Structure 1
Amino acid sequence: MTKSKIFLYLCLSFIAGISFGLIFQISQLLILGFLIFALIPISVFWKYKRIAVFSFCLLFFILGMWRYYLFQLKIENNDFENYINQDVVFESIITNQPVLKEKSQQFEVQPDNFNGKIIITTSKYPEYEYGDKVKIAGKLEDPPIFEDFSYKDYLARKGVYALIFFPEIGLLEKDFGNGIVKTLFSIKNSLKQSLNRIIPLPQSALLEG
């Protein structure tokens, strides 16, 4: 058995373990028991290649379950959990380039002393920019979990743990962001405007992604 095949089997085992943990929600104690069980054949039969490979695949499968368990634990114990469905007021800096939609805009903020971000959805005008320092007052909401898709898990992978829709927003100061990032966003906006002037809207939207 080649090294590339072994590596492939280990990767597939890890992915399968994550999927298994997603479906069956295995407890931490059970995962630790499986982990100990997997280490026994590795220590005893490590001279026998096929058994050793199978044992390592089992180990990576369990590590995949463990990885998903830690991911879920992080979501359940995030800093915003105790404030969900409550009215909050805080100051923060916009950490990304706002996404403009037909009737609204979205941007991310990370309140001081909180590990994680919030997506703010507000009216299209006035337009906000990366690096704006804003004061926000609104109701903190949990990202939804649909029958066939967990928007909450999807956002958690990006470090986002809460939503606020159409809060009261006050612009306090501007130009608080990283200068290099701000320059890159400005270049991107200039290219986008040039693209829209040269190419009709539907085609330019496709090129922008």
Structure 2
Amino acid sequence: MTTTPSGFLARALDAPGEPPLRPLPSVVAELLLSLGAPPRLAAHLRAVHDVAAELTNWVRIRYPALAIDHDAVLFGAATHDVGKTSHPEELIGPGSAHEAAGRDLLLGHGFTPALARFAATHASWDGPAVTIEDLLVSTADKVWKDKRVPDLEDRLVRELAGATGREPWEEYLALDDLLARLGADAGGRLAFQSAFPVHM
């Protein structure tokens, strides 16, 4: 039995994955379907969104007093690469044209600047305006494939330590343990993504 291009996209959005991946927010899934997004992009967004959900759940438990917009983090992770619908070559090669394109695409579809920004900011985390939500989206976009970025993690640790008054080394050890556990499932997430074609 052959799978149609739209069938690949539907499977990327609905197949359980191994490890099991959460579905994208319905508003994001509907957007990807309306755009005829590359199936591999949908699979990638699910993988990063799933890791972001694990990160935000961990933050909610470990830092109950820390004010974080969890829904914004999940939306940002679910849409961070949406600009690759316009730049599918960046699904298989380097490039940053998708960042501004993604922000503009989301704005054009009525999403607020506060939500659309993640598409443009997920690859940069050293600016003064970067929020903890940005850092969590950027971290999810790295650790889904078990990539560790010391500068990014150090910035996140500083934010977490500053919010709690605990020592940075204590927060680093806790975050390192979480990221190592998330990274252990990277092979399954990578296999899920690569099972889908780049082009519809």
Structure having the higher Rg: 1
Fold shared, TM-score > 0.5 on shorter chain? no
**TM-score after normalising by structure 1:** 0.22
**TM-score after normalising by structure 2:** 0.22
Structure 1 or 2: more helix by fraction: 2
Greater RCO structure (CA 8 Å; 6+ sep)? 2
